[in-house]
Amino acid sequence: MQVEDRIGAAIYNSGIPLFGIAKPVRPAHFDQYLAWLSAGGHADMAYLSQPGAISKRRDPSTLMENVKSILVFGFPYPHHLNEIPPPEHGAWGQLASYSACRDYHTLIPALLEKIIPELLDISGGSFHYRIFTDSAPILERDIAQAAGLGWTGKNGCLISPLHGSFFFLAEMFCDLDLQPSPGFNAGYCGSCRRCIEACPTGCIQENYTMDAGRCISYLTIENKGCIPPSLRDAVGSKVFGCDICQQVCPWNQKPSNHLPLNEFSEEKLPAWIDLHQTIRLTQEQFKVKYKDYPVMRTKRSGFLRNAAVAIGNACQPESVFPLKTLLENEPEILVRSHAAWALGKIATRQATEILRQHQLVEPDADVQEEIRLALARM
* Residues with catalytic roles: 134
Q: Is 107 in the site for ligand SF4 (CB under 6 A)?
A: no
Candidate segments 244-252, 310-318, 345-353, 362-370, binder of ligand SF4 by CB under 6 A: 244-252
Tell me, rounded to whole angstroms, the distance of Cα 42 from its chain centroid: 14
Classify residue 209 as exposed, middle or buried by CB count within 10 Å of its CB (0-12, 13-18, 19+).
middle
Q: Which residue lies nearer to ligand SF4 by CB, 249 or 295?
A: 249
Q: How far is the CB of 98 from ligand SF4 (least distance, A)?
A: 11
Give the footprint of ligand SF4 on residues 134-153 (CB under 6 A): 153
d(CA 109, CA 136): 13
Q: Distance between CA atoms of 279 and 92, rounded to whole angstroms?
A: 11
Selected from 29, 56, 128, 194, the binder of ligand SF4 by CB under 6 A is: 194
Query: Is residue 215 near ligand SF4 by the rule CB under 6 A?
Result: yes
Distance CA 34, CA 249 (A): 27
Determine phi and psi for 213, rounding to 5 degrees. Answer: -65, -15
**Segment near ligand SF4 (CB under 6 A), from 103-111, 213-221, 259-267, 313-321?**
213-221
CA distances in angstroms from 100 to 78, 104, 273, listed in the order given:
9, 10, 10
The CA distances from residue 68 to 154, 180, 250, 290, in Å, are 31, 10, 36, 38
CB of 171 to ligand SF4, least distance (A): 22
Taking the complex as a whole, the smallest distance from the CB of residue 247 to ligand SF4 amounts, in Å, to 9
Please tell me whether residue 251 binds ligand SF4 under the rule CB under 6 A: yes
One character per residue 147-186, x = contact with ligand SF4 (rule: CB under 6 A): ------xxx-------------------------------
**Least distance in angstroms from the C-beta of 192 to ligand SF4:** 3
> Which segment (119-127, 211-219, 282-290, 341-349) binds ligand SF4 by CB under 6 A?
211-219
**25-36 as b/e: b if 16+ CB within 10 A:** eebebbebbeeb
Report the nearest approach of ligand SF4 to the CB of residue 245 (Å): 3
Based on the shown chain and the rule CB under 6 A, indicate whether residue 249 belongs to the binding site for ligand SF4. yes
Q: Cβ closer to ligand SF4: 176 or 242?
A: 242
# residues near ligand SF4 by CB under 6 A: 23
Work out which of 203, 227, 343, 371 binds ligand SF4, going by CB under 6 A. Answer: 203
- Interface residue with ligand SF4 among 69, 97, 217, 337 (CB under 6 A) is 217
Helix axes 333-346, 365-377, angle to 10 degrees: 10
Q: Rule CB under 6 A: is residue 227 a binding residue for ligand SF4? A: no
When asked if residue 355 is in the footprint of ligand SF4 (CB under 6 A), the reply is: no
Binding site for ligand SF4 (CB under 6 A): 153-155, 189, 192-195, 199-201, 203-204, 215-217, 242, 244-245, 248-251
